[in-house]
Chains A and B, each alone.
Chain A
Amino acid sequence: MKRERWGNRTAFILAAIGSAAGLGNAIRFPYIAYSNGGGAFLIPYFVAILTAGLPLLVMEFSVGQKYQGGAPVALGRVKKGFQYFGWWQVVVAFIIVTYYVTIMGWFWDYLYASFTVAWGNDSWGYFANNVLQLSDSPGNLGGFSIPVLIGLALTWISIYFILRKGTKSVGKVIGFTVGAPFVLLFILILRAVTLPGAMEGLNYFLKPDFSALLGIKVWIEAYTQVFYSLSVAMAIMYAYASYMPEDSDITNNALIIVFADTCVSFMSGLAIFGTLGYMAQDAGVPIADVARGGLGLAFEVFPNAINMLPGGTFVVALFGIVFFLTMLTLGIDSAFSLVEATIAGVADKWGKDKYRTTVGVILAAALISLLYATKAGLYWVDLVDHYINSYALIMAGIMETIAIGYFYRTESIREYFNSVSEIKFGKWWTFMIKILPIILFVLLVRYFVEDIKVPYEGYAAIYQWLGGWGLIIVVGVLALVLTKIKSRYNALDADKAS
């Protein structure tokens, strides 16, 4: 079976940028930067990119491209036992996409609501009552929320049409879905900085507090942000790189992706803090009172800020449309890259028809994502997101770096990517691959200590197990089952270039 290919190098770079630059860049980075030394946070962030993000990205690109397979098959070709680590990543990616698409569904609802600024003065009330129709606990599913169901359907339909012809159809839309957020963010920045109070908001975001750099917390946050921001350890970059010929550049591509990803994060910070500065001034409260991160920023604080903008309903609605369109275009590339990572894993191992695999994976994920379209969906998104990101994803990173760093000739990977790349990396790369498991282990322990001290968000133990600890066990078991299931196609022995 001939392996499909990206149309050209640009298509690959854009697809990888699209996957890396997602909702986290827009709604997580600005708040993390603000609460960890403001402008000074950029220093540990750049250090973390250079010492962790870039080496990891280059490692995944190298293995995917050299061994021409999605994460399980590529890692399995490195050493048969490593296949398990690849499946672990695929299962994590599959679980993440099931709730990620639901968040995208909420953004569809808000895009529609933007036309009339339907949330009015009570953005949280609108989100909880009109969109989510939130029940009182995770155990009370309470049926489906129709607006969420519609948003979810729109997201899955978009993903199907983007992925239906593999890299061919992805290549056709990637120019728009990756280019649009840059343009839209630029429009948001222009509007934000021309608002009264915007400069005060930007001060909060950029004014450096260098004393914060002396504390360990800022550095941990920087490494955490970089790890989550680059779509590593999710099987995506293996799959994407495997669609490139074996002699394609690796290091320069990775650098372009890293810089573009950081660019999106930074632009988001300017747009969000400029607007929050205006909001704080208009409401007569300090910025610290309105600054939030994550879903609270996207669905509560920012809609409120939009509602307070000057210029009449049309201008306010337009700003809302641009903001939620930015979120949707940022999120869609990340969403379909997660699906593609799963498809590549399955299609590669069992040599199945790509289209049938695509339809099968989308249907399975769509079915599971229905849980999050229930009236208790927000609780489950919150729980699963926390545990999968804090544990399963970091564990995936630890596994792959230990495997390549300690149980394989790491130097041979460096020799390979240097032989095909425009920019050569020194031995520091090998050193960092060996150090990375320790850094990731620190992040893992930090989350574990926090969760042991205080159960996450005070959810009852049963839900912490169902949507958290139990799910991590499921990831481990499923990865093992998928590793052990025999394949007649025997992809691991098949000619990798076929």
Chain B
Amino acid sequence: MEFSAIVMLIFACVVILGGLFITINKAKKSEEEKINSGEEKDREEDKEITEEKVEEEDKEITEEKVEEENKSEEEN
């Protein structure tokens, strides 16, 4: 094979395979980021839900306690 043909072969391989490598890698990274950001969002949402639940539970417990205390005071 002549030198100029080999040069064109290398040129084509670099452009095509290089282009494929870069673009596929970029797509992979962005998909991973999307999944990660999705997971983070889920985690944040879970956290918010848990915090809200704890707050509600605390509130309920406090209210119950107050009610019980009031009741016992009335009985006394």
Given the complex, which residues of A lie within 8 Å of B24, measured CB to CB? 256
A145 to B66, CA, bound (A): 93
Tell me, yes or no, whether A369 is within 8 Å of chain B by CB. no
Given the complex, which residues of A lie within 8 Å of B27, measured CB to CB? 9, 13, 249, 252-253, 256, 422
Query: Which single member of B1, B8, B26, B30 contacts A208 (CB below 8 Å)?
Result: B8
A39 to B11, CA, bound (A): 9
Query: Do residues A207 and B4 form an inter-chain contact, with CB atoms below 8 A?
Result: yes
A429 to B24, CA, bound (A): 22
Query: Do residues B16 and A262 form an inter-chain contact, with CB atoms below 8 A?
Result: yes
Query: Do residues B20 and A207 form an inter-chain contact, with CB atoms below 8 A?
Result: no
A177 to chain B, nearest CB (A): 19
Given the complex, which residues of A lie within 8 Å of B6, measured CB to CB? 206
In the complex, the chain B residue whose C-beta lies closest to that of A263 is B16
Query: Do residues B4 and A249 form an inter-chain contact, with CB atoms below 8 A?
Result: no
Query: Do residues B4 and A39 form an inter-chain contact, with CB atoms below 8 A?
Result: yes
Number of A-B residue pairs at CB separation under 8 A: 69
Tell me, yes or no, whether A260 is within 8 Å of chain B by CB. yes
Q: Categorize the interface residue count of chain A.
A: 20 to 34
Tell me, yes or no, whether B38 is within 8 Å of chain A by CB. no
A45 to B52, CA, bound (A): 61
Given the complex, which residues of B lie within 8 Å of A13, measured CB to CB? 27
A207 to B11, CA, bound (A): 12
Query: Do residues A256 and B12 form an inter-chain contact, with CB atoms below 8 A?
Result: no
Tell me, yes or no, whether A112 is within 8 Å of chain B by CB. no
Query: Do residues A207 and B2 form an inter-chain contact, with CB atoms below 8 A?
Result: yes
In the complex, the chain B residue whose C-beta lies closest to that of A270 is B9
B20 to chain A, nearest CB (A): 4
Given the complex, which residues of A lie within 8 Å of B8, measured CB to CB? 38-40, 42, 206-208
B74 to chain A, nearest CB (A): 59
A314 to chain B, nearest CB (A): 30
Contact with B along A190-210 (1 / 0, CB 8 A): 000000000100110111100
Query: Do residues B2 and A203 form an inter-chain contact, with CB atoms below 8 A?
Result: yes
A253 to B4, CA, bound (A): 33
A253 to B23, CA, bound (A): 8
In the complex, the chain A residue whose C-beta lies closest to that of B1 is A199
Contact with A along B5-48 (1 / 0, CB 8 A): 11111011001110110011011001100000000000000000
Query: Do residues B19 and A203 form an inter-chain contact, with CB atoms below 8 A?
Result: no
Given contact pairs A42-B8, A206-B9, A255-B19, A9 touches B1 in the complex (Cβ within 8 A): no
Query: Do residues A263 and B17 form an inter-chain contact, with CB atoms below 8 A?
Result: yes
A422 to B25, CA, bound (A): 11
Tell me, yes or no, whether A266 is within 8 Å of chain B by CB. yes
Query: Do residues A208 and B31 form an inter-chain contact, with CB atoms below 8 A?
Result: no
In the complex, the chain B residue whose C-beta lies closest to that of A210 is B4
Given the complex, which residues of A lie within 8 Å of B26, measured CB to CB? 252, 422-423
Tell me, yes or no, whether A160 is within 8 Å of chain B by CB. no
Interface positions of A from 157 to 197, Cβ below 8 Å from B: none
Query: Which single member of A207, A249, A256, A262 contacts B5 (CB below 8 Å)?
Result: A207
Query: Do residues A202 and B1 form an inter-chain contact, with CB atoms below 8 A?
Result: yes
A310 to B66, CA, bound (A): 97
Tell me, yes or no, whether A46 is within 8 Å of chain B by CB. yes
Query: Do residues B23 and A203 form an inter-chain contact, with CB atoms below 8 A?
Result: no
A225 to chain B, nearest CB (A): 15
Contact with B along A401-424 (1 / 0, CB 8 A): 000000000000000000000110
Given the complex, which residues of A lie within 8 Å of B5, measured CB to CB? 38-39, 202-203, 205-208
Given the complex, which residues of B lie within 8 Å of A39, measured CB to CB? 4-5, 7-9, 11-12
B26 to chain A, nearest CB (A): 6
Given the complex, which residues of B lie within 8 Å of A255, measured CB to CB? 19, 23
A38 to B2, CA, bound (A): 13
Tell me, yes or no, whether A431 is within 8 Å of chain B by CB. no
A245 to chain B, nearest CB (A): 11
Query: Which single member of A199, A259, A422 contacts B19 (CB below 8 Å)?
Result: A259
Which 9 interchain pairs have the tightest Cβ spacing? A39-B8, A206-B5, A259-B19, A207-B5, A259-B20, A199-B1, A255-B23, A206-B8, A256-B23
A-to-B contact residues, CB < 8 Å: 9, 13, 38-40, 42, 46, 199, 202-203, 205-208, 249, 252-253, 255-256, 258-260, 262-263, 266, 422-423
Known: A39-B4, A203-B1, A258-B19; 8 extra A-B contacts, CB below 8 A, are A39-B11, A203-B5, A206-B12, A207-B4, A249-B30, A256-B20, A259-B19, A423-B26
Can you name 5 A-B residue pairings with CB atoms under 8 Å? A38-B5, A42-B8, A203-B5, A206-B5, A249-B30
